[in-house]
Structures are given as structure tokens and as C-alpha cells.
Amino acid sequence: MAKIGDIDVGEFPLLLAPMEDVSDPPFRALCKEQGADVVYTEFISSEGLIRDAAKSVMKLDIYEKERPVGIQIFGANLESMLESVEIVEKSGPDIIDINFGCPVKKVVSKGAGAGILKDIDLMVSLTEAMVKHTKLPITVKTRLGWDHDSIKILEVAERLQDVGCKAISIHGRTRAQMYKGEADWRPIAEVKDNPRMHIPVFGNGDVDTPERAVEMRDEYGLDGAMIGRASIGNPWFFREVKHYFKTGEHLAPPTLQERVEAARRHLQMSIDWKGEKLGVFETRRHYTNYFKGIPHFKEYRMKMVTSDDAADVFKAFDEVERDFAGYEFV
Ligand SMILES: Cc1cc2nc3c(=O)[nH]c(=O)nc-3n(C[C@H](O)[C@H](O)[C@H](O)COP(=O)(O)O)c2cc1C
């Protein structure tokens, strides 16, 4: 059984990765329903939070039904990070996660995200200060290192654990790799194999089939899998992996009815959460995957992604339901 602080997250939990503009409350709720054991918000700027920037503050919203949920924050300034911990606490998350892995230039150039991988002492002291500042469990998400020549993840993980970090999720790429190449899970397994490590070590990067999740569990011996891109427009990925764990067999893909229903609920929850305009706009990115495989779908997809009017999008869902009834996905 893996535990994050006092939170029991089950045996080999599946975690929904933090993803900017994707891991919002509606999407997290859908993933939770389909078997995600822990969900994370997208990264939230500590500077934005303390400035009370509406966009950052809105990202703190959580639904009761998605627990346990971690709110992820990023920053490199101690004062701002501590102040934002206090703001985050008011939203009542179960976990606070620190982003030490974002490779994007505008984040890294300020020494935040993966930028901190160049200053391990700061990474450790920031984590320690945050641990001391809250009763909530602090977890860290990071990468293997800054670049291939500076991979120190073994030392980093141990030091983070020693200052009270309650779990670590490691993306098996360096900052220099961005998203290129293949994630290397071997250094993550070395972290797990370190006899001094006792906190959960979650693997991340390229878990895109149930077989890969089994590999991460059985061959690499990690404590859980954090899943990102494979879940976009496919919240069913979690149940597929769990079914495969249990039976060794692949679950049939979701039916058309399930897909239409998920699209409807996703859109409705998004509208309820952020209003019609933003709700309609930001849910668009999921439709291609929801309905992937349906032939001659362009006309329907265009209706879903071009109208600003929610009623038109719901009407397009109805048409898909009617015109493709009984369509068998492979
Ligand atoms: C669209 C997108 C947004 C992301 N945003 C975040 C983020 O806010 N915080 C974070 O720690 N990682 C972020 N990531 C990285 C993912 O959490 C994850 O580490 C990466 O996608 C590798 O896992 P995967 O192969 O399962 O997708 C993002 C990735 C994607 C594709």
C-alpha cells in the first residue's frame, strides 16, 4: 500500500498528472470516476497567487468528489512560496505539490520549475521550508536532472525525503530533453531501489498502454504511475489500466454512448465552473480524442470546435449520438 503522509492511496496507485489547461476540475472529476487514485491540479504560479491574479486563484477550485487532490504550485522565491502555501491551504486540498520539473523557458529562466535543478541546495531548502510551514503533506514532481551530464536524482530524492517530502513523482526525462526521446525509467528505479528511501516513488513519462503500466510496476518496481498525455480526451485510460492489472486482459474501448455522455458532462461541468464562453472554448481540445476513430467525423468536429454557443455544441453531440449509433470502436 502506498501512503502519501497519512493518506492511503492504495496499491500501485494511478495518478493524474498535473497538466496546464487540461487538469481542471471537470477533467479531474471524470478521471477520478474512471479510476484515478490521486489527481493534481495544473501548476499554479505562486507569484500569481500572492498578487491575487484571478486566473491563478480560479485554479485553486476543487470538487469534493475528486479527493484526494493535490494542488501544484511553482516558484523560486521563498517568501512567495510560503505565502502561497497559506493561500492554497484555504482551498482545502489533501496535498500540496511543488513543481520542480516544468521545462518551459519563461518558468525556467526565473529559476522555477526545472530551473531549480541547477541549484539543488535551493530546491531542498525551499522544500524544507514549505514542509515546516504546513500540516499538509508536501510532494514534489521533478525530472531526472537538468541535462544528461548532471543527473543527480538519487541524491535529490534522498535529500527531499530527509527534509520531509512525502512522495516524489519523477518524469524520466531531463530538462534538456523537454518532451523528446523516450522517458528513461531506469534512474527512477534506482531511486526506488535505494534502501534509504521509504517515501513512495512514482514514475512518470510515456505510460500510454496498460502494458507499460504493468512494466513500470513489475519490472521497474515503482510505487505508482503518474499518467499525463494518455488521459487527454481519454479518462477511461485509468479504468483500462486497472482492468488489465486485475485480469491481464484488455477492456473493450468505451462505447459511443459513453463518449457522448462524457463529452456532454465535461462541457456542462466546464460551463458551470468557468462560464459558457471559457467552458465552450477550453473543452474543445478534448473532443478529437473522445471521438477518435469515427470515420468522416470532420463535419461534426467542426461544429463542436467552431461555435461559441454551448447549445450548438450540445446539438452536435446529439447528432453524433444519432448518426453513429452502434459504431464499434477498436
Ligand atoms: C499539456 C501539458 C501540460 C502540462 N502541464 C504541467 C504542469 O502544469 N505541471 C507539471 O508538473 N507538469 C506538466 N506537464 C507534464 C506532465 O505532467 C508529465 O510530466 C508529462 O506529460 C509526461 O508524462 P506523460 O508521458 O504521461 O504525458 C504537462 C504536460 C502536458 C502534455
- Is there a single domain that holds both residue 224 and residue 274? no
Residue of the CA atom closest to atom 19 of ligand 1: 171
Mean pLDDT computed over every residue of the chain: 96
Residue of the CA atom closest to atom 10 of ligand 1: 18
Of residues 9, 14, 18, the one with CA closest to residue 43: 18
- Is there a single domain that holds both residue 174 and residue 318? no
Identify the band that residue 158 occupies on the pLDDT scale cut at 50, 70 and 90.
very high
Contacts of residue 71, Cβ cutoff 8 Å, sequence gap at least 6: 40, 41, 44, 60, 62, 88, 91, 93, 95, 96, 97
Q: Is 299 part of any domain?
A: yes
Q: pLDDT value at position 85?
A: 98
End of a domain among 216, 247, 278?
247
- Is there a single domain that holds both residue 193 and residue 304? no
- 232, 24 Cβ separation under 8 angstroms: no
Residue 90 pLDDT > 90: yes
Q: pLDDT value at position 285?
A: 87
Q: Is 319 part of any domain?
A: yes
pLDDT tens per residue across span 160-181: 999 999 999 999 999 999 999 9
* Ramachandran angles phi, psi of 18, nearest 5°: -70, 130
pLDDT tens per residue across span 10-35: 999 999 999 999 999 999 999 999 99
User: Which range of residues forms the domain containing residue 303?
Assistant: 256-324
**Cβ of residue 18 lying under 6 Å from some atom of ligand 1:** yes
Return the DSSP state at 231: G
Select from 19, 206, 226 the residue to mutate for testing ligand 1; criterion: most ligand atoms less than 8 Å from CB: 19
- Is there a single domain that holds both residue 194 and residue 311? no
Q: pLDDT value at position 330?
A: 86
Q: Is 233 part of any domain?
A: yes
Cis status of the peptide bond prior to 68, with omega within 30 of 0:
yes
Q: Can you give the CATH number for the domain in which 93 is found?
A: 3.20.20.70
- 148, 174 Cβ separation under 8 angstroms: yes
Identify the band that residue 222 occupies on the pLDDT scale cut at 50, 70 and 90.
very high
pLDDT-wise least confident of 13-17, 292-296, 309-313:
292-296
Q: Is 330 part of any domain?
A: no
∠ CA 168-37-66, nearest 5°, is 110
- 38, 70 Cβ separation under 8 angstroms: yes
CA distance 71 to 78: 18
Average pLDDT of span 271-285: 93
Of residues 67, 55, 71, the one with CA closest to residue 18: 71
pLDDT tens per residue across span 104-135: 999 999 999 999 999 999 999 999 999 999 99
Q: What residues are labeled active site? A: 102
Domain count, the chain: 2
- Residue 143 region, left (φ>0) first, then alpha (ψ -120 to 50), else beta? beta
Identify the band that residue 37 occupies on the pLDDT scale cut at 50, 70 and 90.
very high
Identify the band that residue 57 occupies on the pLDDT scale cut at 50, 70 and 90.
very high
End of a domain among 194, 216, 247?
247
- Is there a single domain that holds both residue 97 and residue 219? yes
Q: Is 329 part of any domain?
A: no
